[in-house]
Amino acid sequence: MTRLTPRTSASALLLAAAALVAGPAGAQTLRLPRAVALDVQAAAAAPPPAPAAVPLTLDDAIARGLAASHQLAVVEAQQDASRSAVDGQKAARRPVVSLQAGYQRTNHIDAFGLTVPGHGFQVIYPDVPDNYRTRLDLQWPIYTGGRQDALERAAQAEASANAEQVATTRADLRLEITRAFWALVTADESVKVVEQAHERMLAHLNDVRNRFTVGLLPPNDVSAAEAQEARDRMLLIQARNQRDVAATVLRRLIGASADAPIVPQAALAAPPPAPPVATLISDATQNRSERRALQDQVAAASQREAAAGAGRRPAVAVAGGVDYARPNPRIFPREAAWNESWDVGVNVSWSLWDGGRTGAAVAQASAGVRAAREQLADFDTALDADVRERALDLQSSEAAIPAAEEAVRAAEDARRVVENRFKAGVATSTDVLDAQVALLQAELDRTQAVAAARLAQARLDRTLGQ
């Protein structure tokens, strides 16, 4: 490719500027020098720069995933709605002031009046077909039998439950991101293991071919080595595909671009040992946001039961207002003129018999309280078993890691011995292939064992509410 020198670059810019000034209607055709034209074409055809690699730790992945999650945004919006519901219940305690206005057209009537000696005919009820009315109205409930207080406490409990739902969604997202992160780390490690096995296989295949060339090995040994090399190549393709799939999943969770290469900054090592089961159960009982949400739901249901029972008690409200109307019906005699009047009063309402409506509402709310309490009890029962199950999974996975590492050491020693015997001419190529396959399987088993322990740790952390 021809490089752009300062001189040719300046020439290209000047010629391009001249072309823009001349415009498409110019009579002369602008011809670029061949070297400049090739440089411009090469610059235009150059591929866009590759996206920079994204180094990512587990904490970074979780932080980016929580910031980019649409699911979490939905739950947070629901939490905002529940907080607004609390504000609405608080506002129900305050007075409501409204401005009213209206116009009414009536039919014509015969004016009514009396003849008063010395004053002639006096109209008492005139014909006023155009009626205008304005009112400044006030309504203020000052006592609701505890209903409004109970509804406000119920809304606050539901808002608290929604806040715990946000914490639950965050915990679920942390688990999902953690699983995707360690899946990518495991896939990277698997690719490295298979690449090393493939390099060993290529070296052995080259050695087998050299020995066949000098007549030390039969052709079937070469075929067997080539077949094993092809299998290793196939495993390498599958491992790289799994790594690409794991990276795609993690990119989606953290909101990264679809083509951004991710470099996980973590080593695939065994997690630290877990505390005793009794401590884990105590931590889970205190930290699980789902349990706190159920407790809030029990409190909300209890308050709604109290609000339903308040329907049996009287309610007191203050009402008042100022009317400015034409004609004003409170002014006598009636006249086609604007007049103002005001009123203020106290209203008491007490439902003495409602056909069983209040009793049905209380029974419905009471059933909701029982259901919420049973859900809480069921959660407590399942939590103990869940913690024990996750702890056993982690212990089992951690116990498998030393065994897998011992298997790798043994397979490595066996491969080394067989390879040395093969070079000395006392072992067959098939023995070397078997030893290499055993080593590859042992290394993959170790990778899977550590990955299983990491996944078990993540699931236990989720069970503990972390």
Q: List pLDDT tens digits, range 356-396.
A: 998 999 999 999 999 999 999 999 999 999 999 999 999 99
pLDDT at 8: 40
Mean pLDDT of the chain: 86
pLDDT at 6: 39
The single-letter code of the amino acid at 142 is I
Give 128-172 pLDDT, tens digit per residue. Answer: 999 999 999 999 999 998 999 999 999 999 999 999 999 999 999
Domain ranges of the chain: 6-21+30-46, 56-93+146-312+356-463, 95-143+315-349
pLDDT at 46: 55
C-alpha closest to that of 446 among 285, 310, 270: 270
pLDDT at 110: 86
Give CA–CA dist 314/146, Å, rounded. 10
427 phi/psi in degrees, rounded to 5: -135, 155
Distances (CA, A) of 322 to 104, 186, 336: 19, 77, 19
Give CA–CA dist 83/73, Å, rounded. 15
Least confident of 22-36, 106-120, 305-319, 445-459: 22-36
pLDDT at 27: 39
Residue with tokens 């397979």: 411
Give 444-460 pLDDT, tens digit per residue. Answer: 999 999 999 999 999 99
Q: Which CATH superfamily is domain 56-93+146-312+356-463 in?
A: Outer membrane efflux proteins (OEP) (1.20.1600.10)
Give 229-287 pLDDT, tens digit per residue. Answer: 999 999 999 999 999 999 999 999 999 888 888 888 888 888 888 888 889 999 999 99
> What is the 8-class DSSP label of residue 46?
S
pLDDT at 436: 92
pTM equals 0.77
Distances (CA, A) of 247 to 4, 187, 190, 421: 38, 9, 14, 42
pLDDT at 36: 43
Give 17-46 pLDDT, tens digit per residue. Answer: 333 333 434 434 445 455 444 454 544 455
Q: Is residue 190 predicted with pLDDT exceeding 70?
A: yes
Give CA–CA dist 382/389, Å, rounded. 11
pLDDT at 49: 63
Instruction: Spell out the residues 6+ positions from residue 280 whose beta carbon is closer than 8 angstroms to its own.
Output: 274, 387, 391, 460, 464
Helices (H) and strands (E) in the chain, counts: 10, 8
Greatest CA separation found in the chain? 153
Give CA–CA dist 187/239, Å, rounded. 7
Angle, helices 429-463/219-254, rounded to nearest 10 degrees: 20
3-state helix, strand, coil in the chain (%, to 5): 65, 15, 20
Give 327-362 pLDDT, tens digit per residue. Answer: 998 988 888 899 999 999 999 999 889 889 989 999
